[in-house]
Structure formats: C-alpha cells, structure tokens
Amino acid sequence: MTAELVPIPFTWVLALSAVLFAIGTLGVMLRRNAIAIFLSLEVMLNSANLAFAAFAYRFGAVHVAAAAALDGQIFIFFVIAVAAAEATVGLALFIALYRLRETIDVDRFNILRW
C-alpha cells in the first residue's frame, strides 16, 4: 500500500517562489549575456506566477476565501500572455543588435555613458 498523499505545505511553495525571484534578480544583475539576462527576467516573472498560485492554493482551501482563489489563478494566465509578448520583443531586439555588432554581450554596448 502506498502512503497517504500529504499535500505540499503552502509556505514551501511560497519559499520556492521567493528563492526563484532572488535567483532571477541576481541573474539580471550579474550575467553579461543578453540571452542569460532575458532568461533571468523570465524566471522572475514566473516566480511571481508561482507566488500567485501558492496564495490561490491557500485561499482555495479556505471556504470563505474560495472566490479570491480565482483572482490569483486568472492573473497567472494574463502574466503568461504578457511574458510571451515580452519574449517576442526582447528576442527581436537581440537579433537586431547581433546583426549590427555580431555580439550580444551587454558590456559591449556602452557607447552611451555619462
């Protein structure tokens, strides 16, 4: 017989989302390759999605807040669409830059400075 399934505690999910957000933030600040920066941005957006999912999961378990669970879940779908739009624009920008300079290392784009 298998053991009874124990639901994952909500705080674990929230903690995971916070860790992912921190990883994404560090990635944007430390990585120099534009694609890596872009991946980190996506990690940040999706960590927020995970936080929404975690809270919705908790509200869904409480009877009085069950309607609130829906708000968070709907939010996630919109964020997915927005992230896709952002991906399109970001990647198009990187391709345009690569065509001009044959590199997407952000340290090489420093004509503008004070």
The footprint of another protein (CB under 8 A) covers 14, 17, 21, 24-25, 28, 34, 37, 41, 44-45, 47-49, 51-52, 54-55, 58-59, 65, 68, 71-72, 74-75, 78-79, 82, 85-86, 89-90, 92-94, 96-97, 100-101, 106, 109, 111-114
Residue closer to another protein by CB (options 8, 82) is 82
Amino acid (one-letter) located at 14: L
On whether the CB atoms of residues 20 and 45 are closer than 8 A, the answer is no
Residue closer to another protein by CB (options 3, 67) is 67
- b vs e for 41-76, b when ≥16 Cβ sit within 10 Å of the residue's Cβ? bebbbbbbbbbbbbbbbbbbeeeeeeeebeebeebb
Residue closer to another protein by CB (options 9, 109) is 109
Residue closer to another protein by CB (options 1, 81) is 81
Question: At closest approach, how far in Å is the CB of 5 from another protein?
Answer: 25
Give every CB contact of residue 84 below 8 A, 6+ residues apart in sequence. Answer: none
